[in-house]
Structure 1
């Protein structure tokens, strides 16, 4: 039986006009040359030069002068090399210098894809049978650098979406708080990386550090250890693992006067400099009925990937943490929305081909996993993976999957797992739930539909999905019809 899927008309498309103001730096020598050129101007000439810049770009950015000032402060240490005190400059000079170290980056000019959906923490001013939701997207711009962005909307009783107004003044976090490490705790984290100890004695790196230390201090020690050990190139990955661990902890605070559609989670740490990919958001409820929104995502540095996690309660303040343990090494980790039998549970894909499930006492540490699903049908023989966190239903855990088949076509499927024993598969659709149609198959990566998380509303499954890695939309499926088909499917 083919399940009826209702595609909705709404499209989320890339918008090149959505820009953030990024710090621009091309090395000390060019920076010093720029500073000298500005200082050759009189104070009046500097004021004349900065005024039209402020006038033009204040229409595109909230408090552009504050951004210029922040970027000026990032290069102010260079004034010592010119035997100058940066504080001797007046406001116009500082802002002008800062403007030369600023560039606009169009965060979604290339693609707007791989969405997830969660219930909004604010359900005020919604009517009967309505639900406010948050969509997250992978936004990609120049250089294929990906970030996380958001949209909000209200699903009505028929699951039509009314998109709420989208702000134009995009911002990165107002404050980025780097993590301060405790030496003993960091030793415990290193102890999880068993393959490191036989090659790199932890004391070689940590003994020179105080009991409390920053990432920058640790980075210096890592570089010194690298030089002293002269490791072969194939062992460099071990240092990279420690660097990843050290740079992965930070916190983000967004201004209270930003709309959620204006908040951009842009790469911060070294291990994600080439992109934050495919965030799978889930509304997690703990044993005390307290809610935290988690998102697992993939950090990409241009060579290697690293699974990471962020959490938030209000979408203003975010903590970013690495995922530790032997199985935290591939794309597509997806957290269950609650503990199962007293443990956190996670879907994952260790080998790139099959689905696995893992359990842990700690949401950040994942050591063991067991095989959950293997490709079975022609449309998923290349690989099978999850499309977001499992959804709890009275009949079992509903998991939307993706399968890759001939011509590398990505399609969506569905499976059902036992509520008390989620490692037990109850049923799996024999045919794809959703395949790319004529419109959806054209894009940056042809023949792909993909999702990072679904939800249930008014007895329908709501599936946001990307169209060939370019734009996004959503579809609805009758939940009862889908569950009945899954329960009646015969697993062999």
Structure 2
């Protein structure tokens, strides 16, 4: 008899009241000038009345609204026709006319990834605090990363904390340093390496900043103005550089008030399906990584998010011959001195990758093909492998008839993950009648679970709309996977 996961009945639905402010971009300098002129024509009394109305209506919905309005003013300031100084209130009002609210999860809140919170202080005995990351989707089907927090109590019950009413995007820090060798390797993969690119990068050192690159690109582009080929290469160079950046949240923001919103040119249509993992280096240092898919409306880009504290994040473009498609998931530690990743380059099979460099992946080996009826269309992972004494436990997804997604599992050897020790022939979880209806029908999907005590906790999405949790006994699951392991002898390694 095949093992099945037990549903908790918890449902986490999208909340349209969670809004953040975003730049309101008109895409037309003429319209921008007209709006500035209209605001300039207002009397001081009219301007004060309108600004007070804005603060009264929107101030309670956001943290630090005035700071953002001033930032927006500075961004549209180059459109002003004179250097005549403006009063603070007039600057705030102009900023408000070029700001909008965005409901980041108005359409969906799905594809969750669960990890243990780095701060377990003041947690009662038997309890454990966790972080849940989710793919939040709003207007225009733009996806971002949203966070929730909760804990597992001494009886194994999942308790979600009610999120804050507020949500805030981070400050962007684009001016980091780039290694020339890695940068040029990615240019080659993007087919942007040619004589024009070489000319634009002439004079840059082995390491350079975004500002240095953009200054050099401007100098060369000015010599070949109106040359379409030069403009294309210039845009590609700066887009790649801007896809590698850092972000900072204010320390006083609760984690559930933080939202990682698309920032770079590669992410204009969204940040999708972050798979978080607590990675422990050989020296014991812990870093939280997330592989995710950046989408610009035409092409997907596998990227890497990393943080120590969920306040400061670094975003990096992955490169290498085998960096392609979606669904890359990092192992939580090195294996035989190398980084390891589960992947699916061909959209159909599951592969295993190794690398000496976290950001460069050149090779892959076939691990699993679609074999059972519920996975004949394609296979993929549902998050990073989980270490147990019996092997690496990997949640998987399979797609069958009528594009129905189900969650399964397989087990890999600890020292040689290329060896498959066991694989479920039937899914752990398939969409039931309450989970079939949504944005994408007939889908259950996860981006990563955790082991707590003797239970595997699987956060999962329902029909690409809402999220829930299911559990399965680890001993029973491992016994099912191997057919030989005695449950009383198996112990999950909880980190």
TM-score bucket (shorter structure): over 0.9
Q: CA deviation at 1:83?
A: 2.4
Aligned residue number for residue 488 of structure 2: none
Q: Is the 8 A contact 1:43 1:92 kept in 2?
A: no
Rounded to whole Å, the distance in 2 between the matches of 1:342 and 1:59 is 51
Q: Is the 8 A contact 1:114 1:469 kept in 2?
A: yes
Q: CA deviation at 1:198?
A: 7.0
Rounded to whole Å, the distance in 2 between the matches of 1:75 and 1:64 is 17
Matched position secondary structure for 2:101: strand
TM-align CA RMSD: 2.2
Q: TM-score, normalised by structure 1?
A: 0.92
Aligned residue number for residue 292 of structure 1: 287
Q: Is the 8 A contact 2:217 2:234 kept in 1?
A: no
Q: How does 1:139-178 map to 2 (within 5 A)?
A: 139-173=136-170, 175-178=171-174
Q: How does 1:351-370 map to 2 (within 5 A)?
A: 351-370=346-365
Query: Residue 391 in 1 paired to residue 392 in 2?
Result: no
Rounded to whole Å, the distance in 2 between the matches of 1:239 and 1:34 is 31
Q: Is the 8 A contact 1:454 1:464 kept in 2?
A: yes
Aligned residue number for residue 83 of structure 2: 84
Query: Residue 373 in 1 paired to residue 368 in 2?
Result: yes
- Name whichever of 242-251 and 98-107 sits farther off: 242-251
**Aligned mate of 1:179, from 172, 175, 179:** 175
Query: Residue 111 in 1 paired to residue 112 in 2?
Result: no
Aligned residue number for residue 434 of structure 2: 439
Aligned residue number for residue 455 of structure 1: 450
Rounded to whole Å, the distance in 2 between the matches of 1:50 and 1:410 is 50
Rounded to whole Å, the distance in 2 between the matches of 1:188 and 1:281 is 24
Rounded to whole Å, the distance in 1 between the matches of 2:195 and 2:376 is 41
Aligned length: 478
Q: Is the 8 A contact 1:335 1:347 kept in 2?
A: yes
Aligned residue number for residue 191 of structure 1: 185
Q: CA deviation at 1:28?
A: 1.3
Q: From the superposition, tell whether residues 41 and 230 of structure 1 become closer, same or farther in structure 2 (CA, over 3 Å).
A: closer
Q: TM-score, normalised by structure 2?
A: 0.92
Q: CA deviation at 1:157?
A: 2.6
- Post-superposition Cα deviations, 1:113-172, rounded to whole Å, max 9, x if no partner, equal 000000001112222221100000000001000000100001113321111231111100
Rounded to whole Å, the distance in 2 between the matches of 1:456 and 1:34 is 55
Rounded to whole Å, the distance in 2 between the matches of 1:414 and 1:470 is 23
Q: Is the 8 A contact 2:408 2:428 kept in 1?
A: yes
Q: Is the 8 A contact 1:310 1:318 kept in 2?
A: yes
5+ residue gaps, structure 1? none
Q: Is the 8 A contact 1:157 1:458 kept in 2?
A: no
Q: CA deviation at 1:220?
A: 4.6
Rounded to whole Å, the distance in 2 between the matches of 1:66 and 1:274 is 26
Aligned residue number for residue 29 of structure 1: 30
Q: CA deviation at 1:212?
A: 3.5
Query: Residue 484 in 1 paired to residue 483 in 2?
Result: no
